[in-house]
Structure 1
C-alpha cells in the first residue's frame, strides 16, 4: 500500500477542487515521522481516521485526532508525523473556492488548522467514507456549484490571471486587467484567502520552481535557468526565497522527504 496517493475529480469539479490526496498508514504498526509538505496556494479539508496525525506549521503544533479539519493557506513548509493505524484524506480546494461562500472571512487566518463539525460543510461527509464515495459526493456538489456560478467572481479572476500570465505579475497589472482599484482587490483577496495577492504570487512561483526542479535533471538544468524561467531576479534571489520556505538550499533539497504532487 502506498503511503501517498492522488485521486482526481471530474473536469467540471476541477474548477473548485484541485484533487483529493491521501496519506494512508492505516495498516502500519509504527509512526511515520518527519515528512514534509510545501505550500501550494490551496486550502485543504483533512478527514482523519484511526489514531492521529501531528502537524507542525510555522505558527503552531496540531494534534489531529479522528475528525474533520480545515487547513488554511500555508506560507512555509509543514512537518507531518503520521501515527500508526491512521489514514488522512485531504480535499484540496483552489484559493478562490471559499469565496463562493461569503460567510467565511479568512483575512487573519493562515498557517493554521481548525477542527470543524461535518455540519459546517456545504456537502455531506461521512468521516469513515471510502475515497470512491467521497469523490462521488465532491463531484456531485461542485459540478452543481459550477453550474450555479457560471460567472467567475473577482477572486477566481485574479487567480486565473496570475496562473495564465507568463510575464512578471504585479497587483497594478491585475487591477488594470480587471478594471478595479488595487486597494479593493487587495482587501477582497485577503478576506477570501488569508493571503495578500503578492504572497499568493510568490507561493505559485515557488511551487512552479520546485516542480521544475523535481521533474528535471538538476545536473543539466542550472539553478540560474530555473530562477530566470520563473521570474526571479537571479540565482541568488531564487536561493534566498527557496530558503525562506524550505530552510534549505535548492542543492540540498531532498524530494524524498516531501509529499510532492505527482506529475499527471
Structure 2
C-alpha cells in the first residue's frame, strides 16, 4: 500500500529545516500515477530509493533513480509518477535556508531538479542517504548542514524578508517590506533572485496561491465563491486571479481535484 507521511522538524532545527514528507511505495507493486506537487516557496532535497520517480515539468521529463537530488524553487505544479517498490523521502527547507550553507546561484535551479552534489556542501554524506530511515536522514542533514549555517548581513536580510512574506501568506507588498527592512526594492529583488531563485513578488504570488489551494482543500464553510477566493488571495481582478491560478496549478480553481495533489496535512 502507498503511504504519505509527514514529520516536522524539532524546534531547535526548524530555523532552516521545515519538515520531511515521504512518498512510500516500497511495498506496493502498483504505480502511483497522475499526481501533482504544487509549489509552496520551499526547497526540497529528495532521497530516492527503489525504482524511482518519473517527473514531468515544463516540457522536460526525468527519471529520478536511487540517489539524492536538489529540487529548486518550482513556479508551477509538477507531475509525479511513483514507480512500484519505490520511496521518496523529501527534506523540505525554508526558502531562506540554502543562502546560509551554499554560495550557489539558486536562480540556476528554478524549476529544475539536479543531483545534490551540485551544491558542493556535505558531499561525503550524500551517498549514504538512500535506504536509510527518515530519522537517520533527518539526523544526517542536521549534522551535515547545522554547522555550516553562517550569517552575515545578506543572509540576515534574506531570512527576515522571506520569513515576513511566509508569515503573511504572501499578503505583504514588496514596497512595504523593503521600507520596513530599510533597503531598496531593487536590492531585495537582486538578493532574492540569487539566493532563493525567485523575486519577492514571485514568492509572494506562490504563497498566496498555495494558501488558496489550502482554503479549498480544508475549507471550514460552504464552498467559497470565486470572488471570495480572489479577495482572500489579495486579487481584485477575478480574471487575473483565475489566470494566475491556472498557471500555478494547471487547472482553474473550480476544476481543481484535491485528491490529485500531494498536500500537507492540516496542522
TM-score of the aligned structures, taking structure 1 as reference length: 0.90
CA distance 1:2–1:102, change in 2 (3 Å): closer
Residue from 141, 166, 176 that aligns with 1:138: 141
Unaligned runs of 5+ in 1: none
SS at the partner of 1:262?
coil
- CA deviations on 1:160-201 (whole Å, 9 max, x unpaired) are 221334794332212211111222211111000111111111
Matching residue of 1:71: 71
How far residue 223 of structure 1 moved from its aligned partner, in angstroms, is: 2.6
CA RMSD of aligned residues (A): 2.4
What is the alpha-carbon distance in structure 2 between the residues aligned to residue 66 and residue 166 of structure 1? 35
Matching residue of 1:214: 217
SS at the partner of 2:65?
strand
TM-score of the aligned structures, taking structure 2 as reference length: 0.89
How far residue 133 of structure 1 moved from its aligned partner, in angstroms, is: 1.6
What is the alpha-carbon distance in structure 2 between the residues aligned to residue 113 and residue 249 of structure 1? 26
Unaligned runs of 5+ in 2: none
CA contact (8 A) 1:9 1:139 kept: no
Matching residue of 1:175: 178
- CA deviations on 1:142-175 (whole Å, 9 max, x unpaired) are 66567x6598611111112213347943322122
SS at the partner of 1:87?
strand
CA contact (8 A) 2:69 2:115 kept: yes
Matching residue of 1:106: 106
CA distance 1:109–1:59, change in 2 (3 Å): farther
Q: Single out whichever of 81-90 and 166-175 deviates more from structure 2.
A: 166-175
CA contact (8 A) 1:68 1:118 kept: no
Count of residues in correspondence between the two structures:
263
CA distance 1:135–1:157, change in 2 (3 Å): same
Moved over 4 A (4+): 139-146, 148-152
SS at the partner of 2:88?
strand
CA distance 1:150–1:131, change in 2 (3 Å): farther
How far residue 111 of structure 1 moved from its aligned partner, in angstroms, is: 0.6
